[in-house]
Amino acid sequence: MSRAAAVSPAHPAASTTPPDSAPLASPGAKSPAPRHSTTFKRLQARLRGLVGKAIEDFRMIEDGDRVMVCLSGGKDSYTLLDILLSLQRSAPVKFDLVAVNLDQKQPGFPAHVLPGYLTALGVPFHVIEQDTYRVVKRVIPEGRTMCSLCSRLRRGALYRYAAENGITKIALGHHREDIVETMFLNMFFGGRLRAMPPKLLSEDGRHIVIRPLAYVPEREIERYARARAFPIIPCRLCGSQDNLQRVAVKKMLTDWEREFPGRTEAIFSALCNVATSHLADPATFDFPGLDARRARVLAEAAAAGIPAGDEPGPQREPWEE
């Protein structure tokens, strides 16, 4: 049996966390819960379990991997690094972690925060300095969404670093809600049934991107980030844009969740249980071949002496009654 991706903690409740080295907290955040409290330990165990399961389900991390954790300064990437560090100490496979931040030269960006945090934490890290901010502001007209170009420039810089430094996996901090929101964005504005996969091979085939937080609800990341008092750095480039379609989709899901608790989880579950035969994409399912399959089944039934109509009927779904 391969030792690959067996990162799921055997005893999640017995985990430890890195030293408390994040004195800065996001504006307006509540006082952090004591990290030795039962509530915090349960929350940490829950996140470790979900991340470990995602890593195991999708074989995200192999023995000997060098994993680059892309650290933006937001709650998601801080939580990702924290949980991976915790799992690294107890995992049956050996893997290295390096935190990488892209300093996009946004005005007012507190460049000292992440290096100070990571140095105190004792985590290997590197800061890539690239003025993508000026490029985006020059190319994108005022009032237009900046995300697409910004994302491409950021991805290019991170891929270059990965290629030049022996990185085998690139870990991003996208969580469950990010994945569901992306599906609706692609449906509503791109006409495609597509989301963010937990594990992805880049278009050039040179990089593997993983999303270990794929099973984690955003609300639990928010609770964890408050408890750990991470030094949150807000994005003033795209996060402040009020016209983002993602903002509208997030509001739609929030409203749904308020009226029908558990709906987001159900949608994500649907993404993990896809029946291509019940969709309408001839590139992913052999619809023309159904006639041949039917003829084969009828021939086999006749050869076995099974009268027509004796086969068990299809199971009906509750909404078909």
The residue with tokens 């391969």 is 2
Count CB atoms within 10 A of the CB of residue 214.
28
Give the pLDDT band of residue 58 (cuts 50, 70, 90). very high
Span between the terminal Cα atoms of the chain, in Å? 45
- Rounded Cα distance between 93 and 71, Å, is 23
pLDDT above 50 for 293: yes
pLDDT at position 120, please? 95
| Mean pLDDT value of segment 112-124 | 94
Structure tokens at 62: 């192999």
DSSP 189-249: HH-------SEEE-TTSS-EEE-TTTT--HHHHHHHHHHHT------SSSTT-TT-HHHHH
The residue with tokens 């030049």 is 164
- Between 111 and 230, name the one with better pLDDT: 230
| Mean pLDDT value of segment 44-69 | 97
**Mean of the per-residue pLDDT values of the chain:** 84
Structure tokens at 32: 């952090």
Closest CA to 250 of 157, 164, 148, 176: 176
Note the pTM of the prediction, 2 decimals. 0.81
pLDDT at position 281, please? 95
**CA of 178: how far to CAs of 76, 77, 150, 207, 244, in Å?**
11, 13, 17, 21, 14
pLDDT at position 85, please? 97
- Rounded Cα distance between 188 and 166, Å, is 38
**CA of 222: how far to CAs of 218, 228, 274, in Å?**
6, 10, 29
Give the pLDDT band of residue 263 (cuts 50, 70, 90). very high
DSSP 29-57: PPPPPPTTSHHHHHHHHHHHHHHHHHHHH
pLDDT at position 6, please? 53
The model's pLDDT over 174-223, given as tens digits with 9 standing for 90+, comes to 999 999 999 999 999 999 999 999 999 999 999 999 999 999 999 999 99
Give the pLDDT band of residue 312 (cuts 50, 70, 90). low
pLDDT at position 107, please? 78
Phi, psi torsion values for 131, nearest 5 degrees:
-80, 70
Angle CA 146–205–282, to nearest 5: 85
HSE-up (13 A, CA, CB side) for residue 245: 15
- Rounded Cα distance between 307 and 301, Å, is 8
pLDDT at position 69, please? 98
pLDDT at position 16, please? 34
pLDDT at position 108, please? 79
pLDDT above 90 for 74: yes
Lowest average pLDDT, out of 35-39, 142-146, 212-216, 309-313, goes to 309-313
